[in-house]
Amino acid sequence: MGDIYSIWLREMTRYVRARSRVVTSLITPLLWLIIFGTGFSSSLSIGGTSGTNYINFLAPGILGMTALFTSIFSGMSVMFDKEFGFLKEILVAPVSRTSIVIGKALGGTTQAAIQALLILALSTFIGVKISSTLGIAGAVVLILVTLFFLGMGFVGLGISIASRLENIEGFQVVANLLVLPIFFLSGAFFPVTSLPNWMKALVDINPLSYGVDAMRYAVTGLHSYALTTDLAVVVGFFVLMTVVGSILFRNVR
């Protein structure tokens, strides 16, 4: 338990120290939200968004984007530790590998949650309104719960990938070939229901889609999948990735 806290503490110390990186990492999602949200809101009325402004529809997608990117790259920071030798210090200490994975995952998830909440708060200033049946408190709780499982899951995925990569070059490849498609095919931008079959299939197997859907329900009351399905998928994803991540990390030298 204490080990997990120690690992978490280091992640958070590094995060808080990199202030400029924190600020810039907030700007991208906000820009997306402002530009796409406002732009599309004013010119299009997208079928399936029944009456809510596009910017409200998009906001949960942007939260999902933040969670995805922050978490995966946090998980992949294992690779930087490997590259710079610090991983040896961690591996040789009397700490279990599972604790290390959980500690890093919690660190990444905390960061993702902080980022997402900041964006949610800032987005209310540009016109995003929470209008679901849950009320503001309920909506925030649902968002936090979803973010927790999504975050932990994607950090686990990041750790799994980093455990298999030899060097930093693989980083770019993963970012482009895996992370961006996951983001684009998550229903962040458009409703899932009216997509052509091939695309719908891809969206359906993407855990992020369910997370975004749950958060969309929290913000707007709209959803494409059942809420219970959403939660089941993200929890399942979390469990799967923690197990896989721990196993792969155990074999890192």
Partner 1 sequence: MKAIETKDLVKRFEDVEAVKGINLEIEEGELFGLLGPNGAGKTTTISMLCTITKPTSGSATVFGHDVKKESSTVRGMIGIVFQEPSLDDNLTGKENLDFHGRLYKVPRNEIAERISDVLELVELADKANVIVKKYSGGMKRRLEIARGLLHHPRVLFLDEPTLGLDPQTRLHIWEYIEKLNREKKITMILTTHYMDEADKLCDRIAIIDHGKIVAMDTPENLKHDVGGDVVIMTVPNGSEQLKTKLEQLEFVKSTQLVDGTLRLSVDKGETAIPIFMDVAREEGIAVPSIALHEPTLEDIFIKYTGREIRAQEASGFAGFHGPGRR
Contact positions vs partner 1 (CB under 8 A): 2-3, 5-6, 9-10, 13-14, 17-18, 84-95, 253
Residue tagged 């993963």 (tokens) = 174
- 26 or 252: CB nearest partner 1: 252
Contacts of 227 by beta carbon, 8 Å cutoff, 6+ apart: 214, 217
- 90 or 244: CB nearest partner 1: 90
CB of 85 to partner 1, least distance (A): 4
Q: Which two tokens stand for residue 131?
A: 């209008």
- 5 or 194: CB nearest partner 1: 5
Contacts of 96 by beta carbon, 8 Å cutoff, 6+ apart: 3
Residue tagged 């959980």 (tokens) = 102
Residue 189 near residue 104 (C-beta atoms within 8 A)? no
CB of 111 to partner 1, least distance (A): 15
CB of 163 to partner 1, least distance (A): 17
In this structure, what is the dihedral angle of CA atoms 182, 187, 189, 193, given to the nearest 10 degrees? 150
CB of 92 to partner 1, least distance (A): 6
Residue tagged 């997990």 (tokens) = 4
Q: How many CB atoms lie within 10 A of CB 99?
A: 17
- 14 or 129: CB nearest partner 1: 14
CB of 17 to partner 1, least distance (A): 6
- 89 or 169: CB nearest partner 1: 89
- 18 or 44: CB nearest partner 1: 18
As to burial, measured by CB atoms within 10 angstroms (0-12 exposed, 13-18 middle, 19+ buried), residue 118 is middle
CB of 90 to partner 1, least distance (A): 7
Which contacts of 163-167 are long-range, i.e. CB under 8 A and separated by 24 or more positions?
Answer: 163/78, 163/245, 163/248, 163/249, 163/251, 163/252, 164/248, 165/79, 167/79, 167/83
Residue 7 near residue 91 (C-beta atoms within 8 A)? no
- 91 or 240: CB nearest partner 1: 91
CB of 9 to partner 1, least distance (A): 7
Counting every residue, how long is the chain? 253
